[in-house]
Amino acid sequence: MVNTQQNVLLCEYGDAGFETPPTGSSEPSPCHVASPPEASSQAPQQPQTDRDPSPKLHLDLYNFDSPAAEGSRYVLTSPRSLEACARCGVKPVELLPRPLADFAREAPGRSMRVATGLFEVYERDRHAKLRQCREERERIVREEKRRILPKSQSSGPDASSRATAASKTILSKTPASTLSTSPKSAHPGSTPPSKTSSTTSTPSSRGGLQGSAKHPFSSSSEQIKTTRPLSSGPPPVVRKSSVSSPRARTLATFNSLMGRSLSLGDLSHSPQTTQKVERIVKEVKRRGLKAVSERDRKIAALMLARYQEEDIMSQTRYVAHLQWDSERRMEELRREQEDREKQRAVLQCQRVWQTQVSIRQRRLSQQERESAAAKLRQAEENEERWRELAEQQERSRLLRLQQAAREEKHKKALQEQNLKALEEERAAMLEQERLLLKEKLTMAELKRQEKEHQSQEERRGLNKAEKRRHAALIQEIARREQEERDEARRAAEEKLSRSLENYEQIVERRGLELKEKAKREEKQIQKARKAAEKREKQQQLLLEARVKEAEKRAQQAALVAEERAKEKAQRAIQSRQEKERLQKLNRQRVEDEEKQRRLELLQSIERKLEKSEQIFKEKRAVLESARSVARASFHVRDKVREETNMRTFDKMALEAQLKASLDDK
């Protein structure tokens, strides 16, 4: 029996496949379905002795399109699609479409514009990755077809010589110290591969790791380049950043592991396994035993391949775990960076808002100062203009006085009186004007100072105003409480007399209200009870209808089952009659043959008696040879077990625990 193991990746809620499902799919369920071999594996086969692989099995990518899989939450991907994703460094989950609602929930502020932009960017990236993976998958199919044709045409000796040379080259380049760093010891609970028949083993075209299966895969690009020629698959994409970035190195190692499709057939036919088997056979022959049979060689090769496959799968799981862990950490770092950027943007907006507020306040204060200065300048100009006007009037007055003195000397006394009155009036008017100007200037200065003081008080007294308002409210409340206490004291005496009169009326009114309320509640309870009884009746009728429908279906099913049972019984009777007829014919034929055989036996007994002695001697020789072959086979298998069953750290820990438990007992 050949042990095989396949890894399946289940992608949730998506269309992770790269091919269009065929119409009219009739798969029974969305589970692991072994479909017929693909076109790439339909090349002419050779006998099994030439190590030509049997038709390979693969997972059906289209079974999720069947009616039975409509409610399934998972979709199976094909190995080629997984290999294409591994080569391109893309997770299959990244190819799944996401609804716009997810981006709306993740967008800051639940903005639909931002969510739509994120959705468009994600869709562009997803289509680009999907196109890249599809091209890589087509390239894988073409490479498999190119590999199958030369394999079917190449001769056995040339292929074996090339494999031997390649295995020697890899063994010389692979360091022996890597055996101690194998991740298999970190994963002791790996599940063993399932057992299938040797005819269903995957072909070598799927590409197995040959020659370095027992050595762990390092993350450096040098080991990837040295171990890659042993597999029949195409090399993974190794970027320049893989030398400097740990994440890129882990990704390159994961691609080198996931880019290969391993099988026991490939591992058992690898040059390294063949060399180990030959070495074990030589050691057994040196013990003096006979040649080992081809069957024992194949069994030893399969045992070594089984060990190599388990080692490779454990390494693959370890590298995948490292890769997914690094992706998770990078996602957490990205989210933390986004949160920091959001906080930085909020702080920047707050600083900008505070800056704008301070700029606005400075602008307002500057405008107030400019308006006050403009008013002061205007007042000074008005004062200067009034002063010039007064001087002009004074000069004109003096001129008129001089002219009047020259013209009317005889009216001097009257003129002097008039002049005195006029001077007094002029002086009073000027004094009044000066007072008005001073008052205007004083009012302007007071207004300016009041505005400045008000602005300063507004800036300084925001908290004081609240305190004053609070104190005023407390004083107002105390005053009102005092007034209310006084009014209550006055009203209490008045109400005391009225309360005795109204008490009986209030008690009587409350009794009437309680009675009316009890009546209303009783009506509501009766109404609710009637509604509940109505609902119960409706539910009872619905249940009775369902029970009748179920009984009707059960009767129909019983009738159908009875008809089927009758048909089955009729077919059974017919088949039994046919079998009885055939049995009679066979019995007659067997009796005739038995008679003929007895005659032949009587004739052959005499010949067998003569040859019995010779056969006994030959049988003894054959038994001796078989025992020798069995001893050789036992030694071969024992040697393989010694080489594969190494004492790992887990085994030594288990042995120590067992010994400690035995000592305790």
380: its two tokens? 């000074």
Q: Classify 495 as helix, strand or coil.
A: helix
The DSSP H or E segment spanning 10 is strand 10-12
What pLDDT digit, counting tens, does each position of 99-156 carry? 888 888 877 666 787 888 888 889 999 999 989 998 988 998 888 888 877 655 554 4
Q: Classify 59 as helix, strand or coil.
A: strand
Q: What is the DSSP letter of 5?
A: -
Q: How confident is the model at residue 417 (pLDDT cuts 50, 70, 90)?
A: confident
Whether the per-residue pLDDT at 235 is higher than 70: the answer is: no
Q: Are strands 2-4 and 10-12 parallel, antiparallel or unpaired?
A: unpaired
Share of the chain above pLDDT 70, in %: 67
- pLDDT (0 to 100) of residue 151: 58
Looking only at Cα atoms, what is the longest distance across the chain? 204
Query: pTM surpassing 0.75?
Result: no
Q: How confident is the model at residue 201 (pLDDT cuts 50, 70, 90)?
A: very low
Q: How confident is the model at residue 647 (pLDDT cuts 50, 70, 90)?
A: low
Whether the per-residue pLDDT at 73 is higher than 60: the answer is: no
- pLDDT (0 to 100) of residue 528: 85
In terms of average pLDDT, the best of 348-357, 450-459, 460-469, 481-490 is: 348-357
Residue type, 402: Q
- pLDDT (0 to 100) of residue 665: 55
- pLDDT (0 to 100) of residue 398: 86
List CB contacts of 379: < 8 A, sequence separation 6 or more: 437, 440, 441, 444
Compute φ and ψ for 59, nearest 5 degrees. -80, 135
- pLDDT (0 to 100) of residue 77: 61
Compute φ and ψ for 55, nearest 5 degrees. -60, 130
Q: Classify 2 as helix, strand or coil.
A: strand
CA distance 119 to 80: 28
List the end-to-end C-alpha distance of the chain, in Å, as a whole number. 41
Please check whether residue 273 is in contact with residue 267, taking contact to mean a CB–CB distance below 8 angstroms: yes
- pLDDT (0 to 100) of residue 650: 66
Compute φ and ψ for 441, nearest 5 degrees. -60, -40
284: its two tokens? 């057994």
